[in-house]
Structure 1
Amino acid sequence: MDFDFLPKLPKSDLDDRTFKDLVDECILRIPRYCPEWTNYNPSDPGITLIELFAWLTDQMLLRFNQVPRRNYVAFLELLGVRLQAPVPAQTDLTFYLSAALPEPYTIPSGVEIATVRTETEQAIVFSTNQPLVIGKPSIRHFLTAQTVEDTPQMLRDRFTNLWTLRPDGEWMGRELAFFDEQPQSGNCFYLVFDPEDECEGNVLAVKFKGEVATSTGINPDAPPRRWEAWNGAYWQPVLLQEADDGTKGFSFSEFARTGSNPLQSGDVVLHLPQRWPVSHFLTYQGRWLRCVYSHIDPTQPGYSSSPRIVSLSARAIGGTVLASQCEQIRNELLGESEGTPGQTFQLQGVPVLTRREDEYILVSPPGALPQIWTEVNDFADSGPQDLHYTIDSRTGMVQFGPLIREPAQLQQQTQLRARTQMQNLVSDRLLNASARPEEVRSLERQYGAVPPKGSAIRMVAYRTGGGRKGNVQRGTITIPKSAVPYVARVINHTPARNGADAESLEDAVIRVPAML
């Protein structure tokens, strides 16, 4: 019996030598076993014998290849094993705003950004996994400490009674030194942001205003400090590159070279963690950011005096979100139901990535409301009323529930055994008795419901993609497939990772015993 609803796995030969391979192998062995044989022309009787036995061997291999491995693959099919689909590569995409916005701005999920298409390579498309909210961060506390600790224990509030908050979110006041007068390695200051502001994953520009002429004694191109954010588990570095520090370690040396005003401001651009929770340290609550004086390189000079500032503010200029190498397809019409069990339909985009909650099949019966059907791994636990279907992620084949019929003879033998156990009676006449029509029908079992005849079968949404080709280098994902409002540019600051091709049969052969 042919089970059409089982997955079809590719078969391969145990011995893939052809007739020509066998002839060539025999001829190569002649000098070793029969060196006096020197005529290898096709007209030689010895060559004719070689070709004859090669043909016989080829016929035996043809039969031999159909036995062991094919049986193994058949067992995998009976177990319902399917080859795993490709795994999409993932990376972080950073969106930079074209201008500051007065209110928080949300970039929806599913935004597609691609690599540059060339004459030899197609563009590789990445899609964002979740919405990105670019918020309006506001600084609530400015705290300093003499020593750096994972859990701050001694903090000094520098805003209270000294600085005032302007309506535009800028803190201003008299000149403030945030390290000791003679800075020591480990001196640090903390910026605590309002917990009500949703700014996880944002690109933050912290603006410091200080005096250009003040000498701090450091090398502006290699300032001895580090920026970190508390992600709930540890302090995570957030300064992507030294070029993002427009203050040059609070020395404002760039402004001094250009002869600008003595009092100037500079931005420090920080890439906040995508998980940046509200935390409590001592009596302070909010989202925590810190800058630590870390003079660990004796070849580089440290701070001879503490940097001083007169104002401080922060704004979001963009945000970072996780993206996967995939393209989304919506509202694909698969076809119309014939009302028969075991129907199959083919998705156009393959391979199909693991389905999300909003990716499912919608069945619209004639004259009735559409029905949302549920995907299952197999029909083993599906009853006749269960709205179930399966999808082979590798091939894109959609399968509805099959009807399984057992042979009448098997039914008769089953009934006979049951009656024998109950009545303790063996009857030759019962053995040869014909089954009643209703008993034959009882051995037909429907696994999963059948879409009514004439129903429109539609895949609401699914994603296709994956493979090692998605493991692209940093800075290559830059082309939006459609315009994103208020976004000036997009880039991946980290290379894409973890993309893998579809599982091969050899990999499945290794995986299945471990699974069992």
Structure 2
Amino acid sequence: MADDDVKFEFLPSLPKDNLDDRTFEDLVAECILRIPRYCPEWTDYNPTDPGITLIELFSWLTDQMLLRFNKVPRRNYITFLELLGIRLQPPASAITELTFYITEPDNFPYRIPANTEVGTERTANEEAIIFSTDRDLLIGKPSIRYFLSARTSEESPRVLRDTVTHQWTRQDNGEWGGSEQTLFDEQPEPGNSFYLVCEPDQPLDGNVLTITFSGLAATPTGIDPDQPPRSWEAWDGQKWQPVLLKEADDLTKGFSFNRLREAGDNPIQAADIVLHLPLSWPVTVFTGYEGRWLRCRFTEPEAGQPGYVNSPRITSLKVNAVGGTVSASHSRVVREELLGNSEGIPGQTFQLANAPILKRRDDEYIIITPLGGIPQNWQEVQDFADSNPEDRHYTIDSLTGKIQFGPLIQEPSRLVKATQDRAGVTPLPVLGNYPIERANTADGPNERQYGSIPPRGAQIRMRQYRSGGGREGNVERQTLTVLKSAIPYITRVVNYQPARGGADAESLQQAVLRVPKMLRTRDRAVTREDFETLTLDAARGSIAQALCIPPTSSGEAGTVTILVVPAANTEEIEQANGLAPEKFELGTELEERIRNYLDERKLLGVQVRLRSASYVGASVQTQIGLEPFYNNSQAQEILRRQLEVILYRFLNPITGGMEGKGWPFGRPVYVSDIIALIQKVPGVRYIGPVLLYEINSTQQGWQRNPEPVPMIDPGDRGLICSWKDRRLRSGHVINFL
């Protein structure tokens, strides 16, 4: 009985009257009082009398029925949710970026079609995890239009010098070359930059480019070839994004041509730099120069890092496309699935072969072909509430893959007439063999058809849909390497970023938590809480926390700023490594998904600005005394790892805090928090000194404060995190007394 009752402690508790408040004792007493009236010859009311035993038995059964009568069982509660239109949300699909490398194709631009499938390696125990690309990837044929330089690196360059247009010539293969040219000033200073502007007529969004530089091997620059103080960036329309994936991709070694000089070939050396462009690389105009912009700038050398003493010199350069990057989601594409033939009756249902189903795109819909007729595209709707009898509508349950067509509903005539008046529609008398409306009395029931019925014998097929999602899609970097179908010119494929955002299907308990928020926001973003709730709904499973910040000045009026903490794979926490702040970067695809979702629900004129949260690192060093029976090396190693995992889990934006739901925004961490946490671990007898070290982000990277502090305050909008980095010494240190 108790298992069927719905008891959610987190919901408000209101006074509830019992529909029948009689107890077991009341029922027994009432039956005994009725004995003289209905059976006067029965005079023995002793508890040992068999009749009294039967009275107690039936009183107990009645008491159990009254108990259920006064409660709302789970089935009724679920029915209430169904009346509200609540559906359990299907699994969320993880997203990542796939980079394809190609040999030179016959024609440009080269197209890698959308829904190209790439998977992980299949093993004896695990099936391959499949991802499919979200859109077409076009790889263009780039060419340099301008070679410009500047003494300072500005966000929007205003003073540019064109030094090679009249000194270099452009060959048929796109190579620029001529007399020797400097890349920076003769006496280089940090901020010196040069710009490469590509022709705007080629599709280069997300392309992977190789830029071949030729220079003299005997021109020393004064830098350490393994640590060149320079950065490569591309303008994505809003900011300069880094495009050099790793130092190994720069074979020029910071334009020193060091590796080629050591080889001792010839005086003129050539080497490539591989750049991975942003997914959006628009055509931009700066100071009259139009094209797609790349720049390389001389950055401020770090401590102990030598800078450029002399400017690098080159004699030619050439650019080629060797691949491209495109967004992908954890899904398998199913095309042209035949569902069956229509029986011509209302409320027909069909079942897709694969479930759950991801959110449908514009090219994913049902096609119905009547007998001897022309195929028709039908439209998916959330429900049939606004569907008229002639509307070609259907619904899909994303969790189960069940498809339903319009039902025939009995309604009072007044309700039918009011619905028709609001819609301004006069229904047809008959649809197929089924009347749309049968009028009885003025208040009698009418039958109304919601949505059209596919004609009898019509073929029903799903043009295309995607099945997938779940936590298993949160794969690590460089694991998606298997192309599932042969595509010409592709040599290899890889994901340089881990896949994030996969979440399992919603449970009933989670749906109950969601309903009060849904009723409060009504799917509209007005208050701060609305924006935070809808941001979490925009990418369920992909976002761990969201904080809406009110405008701080009159200049920000009408702008809503939301700090977003993307979800990350917590396996590294369980491996005692923690999660570095770089794991919580807000990717382009996730930002676009949130922005599009909020744009449909915010007030007109409100601007939404999404930002990553700010983080402050925390490192703990302490000494632990164990119970005597744990005083052995094996037990100490196990307990050390357990304590490290507990600390990394506690000091974390996703799993941290006292409730384990993520470290709250603006909450400081105190030494007393660490002591209280460690005291709960079985086997710990006493705790020695606890030292808390703060780790802050600087222009040179993350730096650990050498002095311990009693408290680390991340600021009103900051979060605490912890991770292991041997060079930084950011990990937790547990010693045993």
TM-score by length of 1: 0.82
The structure, 1 or 2, with the larger RCO (C-alpha pairs under 8 Å, 6+ apart) is: 1
* Structure 1 residues 15-54: aligned runs within 5 Å: none
Cα pair distance change 1:413/1:367, threshold 3 Å = closer
Give 1:510's aligned amino acid: L
Alpha-carbon distance between aligned partners in 2 of 1:213 and 1:412, rounded to the nearest angstrom: 94
**Which residue pairs with 2:163 in the alignment?**
158
Q: Deviations over 1:332-369 (max 9, x none)?
A: 11111111111111111100011111111111111222
Match of 1:458 among 448, 457, 461: 461
1:193-229, Cα deviation, whole Å (9 max, x unpaired): 1111211110000010011121111111111000000
Partner of 2:528: none
**Aligned 8 A contact 1:208 1:312 in 2:** yes
User: Structure 1: how far apart are the matches of 2:156 and 2:273?
Assistant: 24
- Closer/same/farther in 2, CA of residues 332 and 303 from structure 1, 3 Å limit: same
Aligned to 1:46: none
CA contact (8 A) 1:95 1:320 kept: yes
1:151 counterpart letter in structure 2? S
For 2:448 and 2:414, locate their aligned partners in 1 and report how far apart those are by CA, in whole Å. 17
**Counterpart position of 1:264:** 269
Equivalent AA in structure 2 for residue 349 of structure 1 = N
CA distance in 2, matches of 1:120, 1:64: 50
Are 1:513 and 2:516 matched, yes or no?
yes
Counterpart of 1:178 in structure 2 is: 183
1:298-337 → structure 2 map (5 Å cutoff): 298-337=303-342
**Partner of 1:474: helix, strand, or coil?**
coil
**Counterpart of 2:709?**
none
CA, structure 1 residues 414+113, in 2 after alignment: closer, same or farther (shift >3 Å)?
closer
Matched ranges for 1:368-387 at <5 A: 368-387=373-392
Asked whether the 8 Å contact 2:109–2:202 carries over to 1, the reply is no
Quickly say closer, same or farther: Cα 1:220–1:100, change in 2 above 3 A: farther
Q: From the superposition, tell whether residues 250 and 451 of structure 1 become closer, same or farther in structure 2 (CA, over 3 Å).
A: same
Aligned to 1:493: 496
State the Cα distance separating 1:178 from its structure 2 match.
Answer: 1.4
Contact 1:15 1:61 in 2 (8 A): no
Shift of 1:66: 7.0
- Report the alpha carbon displacement of residue 12 of structure 1 after superposing the two structures with TM: 6.0
Q: Deviations over 1:477-516 (max 9, x none)?
A: 0001111110000000110111111111112112222222
Partner residue of 1:20?
Answer: none
Partner of 1:126: 131
Q: 1:482 to 1:411 in 2, by over 3 A?
A: closer
Using the alignment, how far apart are the partners of 1:171 and 1:228 within structure 2? Answer: 21
Cα separation, partners in 2 of 1:112 and 1:144, compared to 1, 3 Å: same
Match of 1:483 among 486, 496, 508: 486
Deviation at 1:295, TM superposition (A): 2.7
Who is 2:546 aligned against?
Answer: none
Q: In 2, distance between residues paired with 1:351 and 1:72?
A: 24
Hey, what's the Cα distance between the residues in 1 that align with 2:93 and 2:195? Answer: 38
Match of 2:420 in 1: none
For 2:405, which of 373, 397, 400 is the aligned residue? 400
The DSSP-based 3-state class of the residue aligned with 2:172 is coil
Conservation of the 8 A alpha-carbon contact between 2:90 and 2:398? yes
Work out the CA distance in 2 between the residues paired with 1:377 and 1:336: 23
Q: Distance in 2 between matches of 1:286 and 1:221?
A: 32
Please say if residues 94 and 318 of structure 1, whose CA atoms lie closer than 8 Å, have aligned partners that are also in contact: yes
How many aligned positions are there?
447
| 2:214 matches 1:230 | no
Is 1:167 the counterpart of 2:172? The answer is: yes
Q: Give the letter aligned to residue 472 of structure 2.
A: K
User: For each residue in 1:109-154, what CA deviation from the matched residue of structure 2 results, as whole angstroms up to 9, or x when unmatched?
Assistant: 1100000111221100000111111100000000011111001111
Q: Name 1:85's counterpart in structure 2.
A: 90
The answer to whether structure 1 residue 205 and structure 2 residue 242 are counterparts is no
Contact between 1:135 and 1:197, CA under 8 Å: does it hold in 2? Answer: yes
Is 2:152–2:193's contact at 8 Å kept on the other side of the alignment?
Answer: yes
How large is the Cα RMSD of the aligned pairs? 2.6
Distance 1:504 1:414, change over 3 A: closer
2:447 counterpart residue number: 444
Matching residue of 2:140: 135
Equivalent residues of 1:15, 1:65 under 8 A apart: no
What is the CA deviation profile of residues 406-459 of structure 1, one whole-angstrom value per residue up to 9, with x for unaligned ones? 4xxx669999xxxxxxxxxxxxxxxxxxx9858699711111111111111111
Match of residue 603 from structure 2:
none
- Out of 222, 235, 253, the residue aligned to residue 217 of structure 1 is 222
* CA pair 57-123 structure 1, distance change in 2 beyond 3 A: farther
Post-superposition shift, 1:14?
A: 3.6
User: Which is worse superposed, 365-374 or 468-477?
Assistant: 365-374
Q: In structure 2, what residue type is equivalent to 1:79?
A: L
- Whole-angstrom distance in 2 between the partners of 1:249 and 1:436: 84
Structure 2 counterpart of 1:376, one-letter code = V
- Find the counterpart in structure 2 of residue 421 from structure 1: none
Distance 2:215 2:451 in 1: 72
Alpha-carbon separation, structure 1, partners of 2:70 and 2:251:
69
The one-letter amino acid paired with 2:493 is: V
Q: Report the Cα distance in structure 2 between the residues aligned to 1:157 and 1:488, rounded to whole angstroms.
A: 38
Task: Give how far 1:261 is off.
Answer: 1.4
Tell me the alpha carbon deviations over residues 380-429 of structure 1, each in whole angstroms, 9 at most, x when there is no partner: 011111111000000100011111124xxx669999xxxxxxxxxxxxxx
Amino acid of the residue matched to residue 284 of structure 1?
Y
CA 1:465/1:414 → structure 2, altered by over 3 Å: closer, same or farther?
A: closer
Task: Give the aligned partner of residue 365 of structure 2.
Answer: 360
Over 6 Å off, 4+ runs: 55-62, 410-415, 438-442
Deviations 1:32-55 (A, max 9, x none): xxxxxxxxxxxxxxxxxxxx9xx9
Q: Separation in 2 of the partners of 1:283 and 1:499?
A: 45
Q: Which residue matches 2:252?
A: 247
> What's the counterpart of residue 345 of structure 1?
350
Partner amino acid, structure 2, of 1:392: D
What does residue 95 of structure 1 align with? 100
The structure-2 alpha-carbon separation of the partners of 1:179 and 1:414, relative to structure 1 and needing over 3 Å to count, comes to closer
The separation in 2 between residues aligned to 1:324 and 1:62, in whole angstroms, is 50
Unpaired runs of 5+ in structure 1?
A: 1-10, 17-51, 416-434
Q: Percent identity?
A: 58
In 1, are the aligned partners of 2:439 and 2:446 still within 8 Å (CA)? no
Distance change (3 Å), C-alpha of 1:248 and 1:61: farther
| Aligned mates of 2:101, 2:512 — CA distance in 1 | 47
Residues in 2 aligned to 1:304 and 1:90: alpha-carbon distance in whole angstroms: 44
Distance 2:373 2:484 in 1: 38
Residues 69, 183 of structure 1: CA spacing in aligned structure 2 closer, same or farther, 3 A cutoff?
same
Contact 2:393 2:452 (C-alpha < 8 Å) held by counterparts: yes
Cα distance between partner residues in 2 of 1:164 and 1:436: 85
What SS does structure 1 have at the residue aligned with 2:514?
helix
Give the letter for the 1:143 counterpart: L
Counterpart-to-counterpart distance in 1, 2:129 and 2:387: 39
Q: Decide which of 491, 504, 508 is 2:507's aligned counterpart.
A: 504
Once residues 66 and 285 of structure 2 are traced to their aligned partners in structure 1, the CA distance between those partners, rounded to angstroms, is: 73
2:85 paired with 1:75: no
Query: What is the distance in 1 between the residues matched to 2:146 and 2:63?
Result: 83
**TM-score, normalization by structure 2:** 0.58
459 and 440 in structure 1: CA distance in 2 versus 1, 3 angstrom threshold? farther
* C-alpha spacing 1:58/1:506, structure 2 compared with 1 (3 Å): farther
TM-aligned CA deviation for residue 104 of structure 1: 1.9
The alpha-carbon distance between structure 1 residues 60 and 243, as it changes in their structure 2 partners (threshold 3 A), is: farther
- 2:477 maps to a residue whose letter is R
